[in-house]
Amino acid sequence: MIWFKNYTIDDLQKFIPNTILEHIGIEITELTDNSVSGKMPVDRRTIQPAGILHGGSSVVLAESLGSIASVLVINQEKHNAVGLEINANHVRPVSKGFVYGTATPIHIGGKTHIWEIKIVNEQGKLVCISRLTMALLPK
């Protein structure tokens, strides 16, 4: 297990109220020994004018899952984890339902973390793949 302490899925709910996650309907759905997963609706809040999932919405889901994962790895009394860089490749469009993302570590260091976030549609097909670099800053 890579987490700083034994978190539960209920512990992760504190990241949602009064944030963009709440605003666009992102839910945290699973916490494993080395990943954080969530889902996001494809609806009026997350689509672009063409009626398909907005790439920025996918990036919000990716950065949210990776950021939460980084926070779970660190001692939050001593450090903050902040986004340093994110990229995303949008593979296929989605026009309804939900998309599901999972953040897994590529690198967990003392000053940076790198996360891979895969977002899939309801059929399990890749929609977006993203890489997020987080900087760890002393408080």
**Residue positions annotated with a catalytic role:** 63
Tokens of 108: 């967990």
Name the residue among 94, 32, 106, 16 with its Cα closest to residue 117.
106
55 neighbors 128 (Cβ within 8 angstroms)? yes
Dihedral angle over CA of 24, 50, 94, 115, nearest 10: -60
Residue 44 three-state SS: coil
